[in-house]
């Protein structure tokens, strides 16, 4: 029966701890962040513009407020995903890190949504533009006709089609606008060829496809193709179909006179002041000057004298029968030809345009007769990212170049720690002080790190469009807790539960108790690493008949949210009046729940082993001396003792083991002072198994200072000093 009762009591203890652990696990289940267990702090979210809907972790939890929000309560020392949604702004997603401060405020600037415009391209009605390729800022966007959606801004539009001159224009697209362009591409004129028509009879009439073109000799420019050439003189007529090819000269020599008639001949001598010049007669090369006694038919002849680097001289010479004609030519040096093209550059208004480091204008630049070659172009404007391009000017062509600028900004970072590393989006960009560091428009993660200091992290937003840098003055904190964290840590210190004291801190407690009328304890931190730790100390307590000293040791084994679990042991003993002596050893486990770093509620379960001696092991030499031992040692009957101790020799020590529970509440008044209340319960007898009573806590052994029977419940209140 005794063993059955003991098992029932142990089962009760087991069920109590199981229920305690299940309750904590349930509190950490998948619920919205603001309903999770833990010490909570106030969170306020503001935005520019205001009126943004606020979500925490996931939109499935619903809207928690509209900026500027009322205070939202969330567990501290955790990070959460924050989502801001506004109808006129881009959604903003970021991570906020809550500190242990009671109030955490966050302010965010949202980016306005950009609404695109529409650019329509249609043929003007000629049909020549259909199928043309459309390029926007150099990128192919489709073929005409089509509609293209674009963000607001300036764009260079180029429309190209084989066989047609390209169309180029600069267009501005505004938000929510539709712009229609009617395109009419003009065909490129084909290169022409030449036709030289001569005849054996002067001033013969020349017709090309039945259209009069003058009289011989004549040099005509015609489009490539086949033509009917007719040469007439009085009753004589000559005709021929001639093919004209691009950049080539076709020749027609019309023989109008009957063949039986002998053509009279004359002589031509050509000289030139520039030796070695080429002589061409009627489009046929005859040699180099001087050319003497060239035999030619009577009539008009087209004579040309040419030489590289000189202008060509040409004239019509009349040859008469049996006569010699002398023609003297002078060639002038040809002007030097510089190969040039045209260059047009457009960009943002007021942006500086530099060509090979020479300022050429702002916003737009156009120049003709630019020498052929490669040039370096630089575009600069405050508040925008600098652009460098290479452009090549081609002879006889117009080079159009539109260079859009990307808005950018610059930041200036100073700190109380010169030389600290500045990291932006995981890229090391330099040391503090960092002056005028340029960044494109966007959101970035700024980190500043230095040895011996806490890393600083902040999300920054670069808007661009201004020449002034955004300045960040960062005060890095040395490693270790902040002053607020130190105050909160000291406020939450516990001397009686599972939460151990960190190194360099200690607590001192003093209070009134029962059965110990005065109880004091000193605890000091030994080791603390994340969720585990060790501390130790000493306890002094007395009920005047007995004064005890105990050594304490606690080990923290787990810490999660508000719950801390650990184990502890206390061992020591004391001396009392009239030869009394005792020994105590407590060992067990503890659990502590913390509420907002203000209240610690601890429950401890432990084995209480004791050894109480009230009488000397042998009768003293003077049994009448009241100082040697209590009087009952000689007069009391051992069988008069309570159940469990009946028959026990009064001169033998009283050994016992029992299982006990403690409940302790510690309430922090501030970071330095707390008050506490303790309640002990002797729950289960282990040895002797038939009594829970400890002799030291009964008047039979300790006179009228104790009650008749051990009440099994003890307790006390006191103050706790935290250092």
Give 483-500 pLDDT, tens digit per residue.
777 777 788 888 999 999
DSSP-based three-state secondary structure for 716? strand
How far is it, in rounded angstroms, from Cα 396 to Cα 371? Answer: 10
Model confidence over 78-129: pLDDT tens digits?
888 889 998 888 888 898 888 877 788 888 888 888 888 898 988 877 788 8
Instruction: Answer yes or no: pTM beyond 0.75.
Output: no
Cβ–Cβ contacts within 10 Å for residue 576, how many? 21
How far is it, in rounded angstroms, from Cα 103 to Cα 69? Answer: 13
Give the largest CA-CA distance in the chain.
187
Cβ–Cβ contacts within 10 Å for residue 292, how many? 12
Among the listed residues 533, 577, 539, 580, the one whose alpha carbon sits nearest the alpha carbon of residue 554: 533
* 212 phi, psi to nearest 5 deg: -65, 135
Between the alpha carbon of residue 416 and those of residues 475, 478, 658, the distances in Å are 6, 11, 60
In sequence order, which ranges of 352-509 are alpha helices (DSSP H)?
Answer: 483-491
In this structure, are residues 402 and 154 in contact, taking their beta carbons and an 8 Å threshold? yes
Q: 298: which DSSP letter?
A: S
Scan for tokens 């267990």, then name that residue: 37
Q: What is the pLDDT of residue 404?
A: 87
Between the alpha carbon of residue 225 and those of residues 16, 218, 221, 231, the distances in Å are 110, 19, 12, 19
Count of all residues that appear for the chain in the document: 723
In this structure, are residues 718 and 669 in contact, taking their beta carbons and an 8 Å threshold? no
> Can you count the helices (H) and strands (E) in the chain?
4, 52
Q: What is the pLDDT of residue 401?
A: 86
Q: At 25, which helix (H) or strand (E)?
A: helix 2-27
Token pair recorded at residue 222? 């015609």
Between the alpha carbon of residue 705 and those of residues 151, 168, 283, 351, 656, the distances in Å are 92, 110, 148, 97, 21
Residues in the chain where the model's pLDDT stays below 70: 1-29, 259-262, 337, 480-482, 623-627, 703-704
Who's near 165: CB < 8 A, 6+ residues apart?
185, 186, 187, 188
In angstroms, how far is CA 634 from the centroid of its own chain?
Answer: 87
In this structure, are residues 556 and 590 in contact, taking their beta carbons and an 8 Å threshold? no
Token pair recorded at residue 639? 């069988």
Q: What is the pLDDT of residue 170?
A: 85
Model confidence over 43-71: pLDDT tens digits?
889 998 888 999 988 888 888 899 988 88
Token pair recorded at residue 342? 């045209």
Who's near 439: CB < 8 A, 6+ residues apart?
408, 409, 410, 411, 424, 462
Token pair recorded at residue 192? 């022409």
In this structure, are residues 129 and 188 in contact, taking their beta carbons and an 8 Å threshold? no
* Residue 448 burial class via C-beta count within 10 angstroms: exposed 0-12, middle 13-18, buried 19 and up: buried
């Amino acid at each position: 029966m005794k063993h059955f009762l003991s098992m029932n009591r142990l089962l009760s203890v087991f069920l109590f701890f199981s229920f305690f652990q299940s309750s904590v696990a349930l509190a950490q289940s998948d619920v919205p962040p603001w309903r999770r267990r833990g010490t909570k702090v106030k969170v306020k979210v503001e935005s520019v513009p205001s009126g943004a809907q606020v979500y925490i972790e996931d939109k499935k939890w619903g809207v928690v407020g509209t900026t500027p929000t009322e205070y939202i309560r969330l567990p501290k020392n955790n990070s959460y995903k924050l989502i801001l949604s506004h109808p006129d702004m881009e959604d903003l997603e970021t991570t906020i890190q809550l500190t242990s401060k009671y109030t955490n405020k966050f302010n965010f600037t949202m980016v306005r949504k950009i609404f695109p415009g529409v650019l329509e391209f249609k043929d003007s009605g000629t049909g020549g533009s259909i199928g043309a390729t459309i390029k926007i800022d150099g990128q192919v966007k489709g073929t005409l006709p089509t509609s293209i959606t674009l963000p607001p801004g300036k764009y260079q539009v180029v429309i190209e089609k084989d066989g047609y001159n390209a169309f180029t224009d600069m267009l501005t697209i505004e938000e929510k606008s539709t712009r229609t362009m009617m395109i009419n591409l003009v065909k490129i004129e084909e290169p022409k060829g030449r036709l030289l028509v001569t005849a054996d009879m002067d001033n013969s009439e020349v017709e090309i496809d039945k259209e009069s073109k003058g009289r011989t000799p004549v040099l005509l420019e015609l489009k490539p193709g086949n033509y009917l050439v007719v040469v007439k003189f009085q009753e004589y007529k000559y005709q021929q179909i001639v093919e004209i090819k691009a950049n080539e000269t076709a020749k027609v020599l019309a023989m109008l006179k009957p063949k039986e008639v002998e053509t009279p001949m004359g002589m031509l001598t050509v000289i030139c002041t520039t030796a070695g010049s080429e002589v061409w007669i009627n489009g046929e090369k005859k040699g180099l000057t001087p050319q003497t006694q060239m035999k030619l038919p009577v009539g008009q002849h087209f004579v040309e004298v040419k030489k590289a680097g000189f202008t060509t001289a040409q004239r019509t010479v009349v040859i008469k029968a049996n006569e010699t004609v002398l023609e003297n030519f002078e060639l002038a040096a040809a002007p030097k030809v510089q190969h040039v093209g045209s260059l047009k550059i457009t960009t943002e208004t007021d942006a500086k345009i530099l060509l090979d480091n020479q300022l050429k204008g702002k916003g737009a630049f156009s120049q003709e007769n630019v020498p052929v070659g490669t040039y370096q172009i630089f575009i600069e404007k405050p508040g925008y990212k600098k652009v460098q391009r290479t452009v090549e000017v081609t002879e006889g062509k117009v080079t159009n170049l539109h260079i859009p600028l990307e808005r950018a900004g610059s930041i200036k970072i100073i700190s109380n720690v010169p030389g600290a590393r500045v990291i932006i989006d995981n890229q090391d960009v330099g040391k503090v002080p960092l002056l005028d560091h340029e960044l494109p428009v966007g959101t970035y993660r700024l980190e500043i790190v230095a040895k011996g200091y806490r890393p600083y992290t902040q999300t920054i937003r670069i808007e661009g469009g201004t020449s002034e840098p955004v300045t960040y003055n960062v005060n890095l904190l040395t490693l270790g807790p902040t002053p607020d964290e130190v105050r909160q840590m000291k406020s939450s210190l516990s001397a009686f539960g599972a939460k151990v004291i960190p190194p360099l801190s200690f607590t001192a407690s003093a209070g009134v108790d029962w059965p110990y009328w005065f109880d004091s304890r000193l605890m000091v931190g030994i080791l603390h690493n994340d969720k585990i730790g060790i501390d130790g100390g000493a306890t002094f307590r007395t009920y005047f008949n007995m004064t005890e000293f105990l050594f304490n040791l606690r080990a923290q084994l787990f810490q999660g949210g508000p719950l801390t679990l650990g184990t502890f042991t206390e061992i020591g003993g004391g001396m009392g009046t009239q030869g009394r002596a005792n020994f105590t050893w407590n060992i067990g486990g503890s659990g502590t729940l913390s509420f907002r770093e203000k209240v610690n509620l601890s429950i401890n379960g432990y084995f209480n082993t004791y050894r109480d001696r009230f009488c000397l092991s042998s009768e003293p030499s003077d049994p009448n001396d009241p100082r040697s031992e209590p009087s009952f040692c000689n007069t009391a009957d051992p069988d008069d003792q309570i159940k469990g101790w009946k028959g026990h020799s009064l001169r033998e020590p009283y050994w016992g083991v029992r299982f006990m529970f403690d409940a302790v509440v510690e309430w922090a008044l501030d970071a330095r002072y707390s008050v506490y209340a303790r309640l002990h319960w002797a729950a289960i007898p282990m040895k002797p198994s038939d009594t829970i009573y400890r002799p030291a806590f009964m008047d039979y052994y300790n006179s009228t200072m104790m009650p008749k029977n051990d009440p099994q419940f003890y307790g006390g209140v006191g103050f706790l000093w935290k250092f």
